[in-house]
Amino acid sequence: MGVERERTFRVASAPPPGETRPLRQAYLAIDGDVAVRVRADGDERWLTVKGGRGRTRTEVERLLTPEQFDELWPLAGERTVEKERTRVPLDGGLVAEVDTFHGRHEGLRVVEVEFASEAEADAFVPPPWFGEDVTDEPWASNAWLATHGLPDDH
């Protein structure tokens, strides 16, 4: 079991270039602050359970076979997210993950940064191309987006 500490921002202007790959996620179950999802990330397939909301959450991941992924994906119904993720190196060894959404979430673009500690997250000064900090907004969760669609003010 791991702890994920991250902050999420709206992208305000064009980010620097980075390595981009497609991601597909399907949410099998969402109960309050707990979500169970499957994700296709390149050639890898993952089952992930996340618990909590906001900056610090519990995260447990397990690798799936392609066959297991294909069996689980349809169980999510319409609770899916399609996006491209671009990894952009930042100062101090941090990495910004820019998510550009497609399909029914077209037009939404956010950036997340993971931190080793709460102190590191508190001390982070975002670069100018980062926009508003939306970490604590309910819609900033991919599980929320998969269930509700775009936020009203996207």
Catalytic residues: 27
d(CA 76, CA 78): 6
Determine the Cα–Cα distance for residues 129 and 121; give it in Å rounded to an integer.
18
| Matching residue, tokens 């319409």 | 78
What 3-state DSSP class applies to 92? helix
CA angle centred on 31, ends 26 and 37, rounded to 5°:
20
Three-state DSSP state, 70:
helix
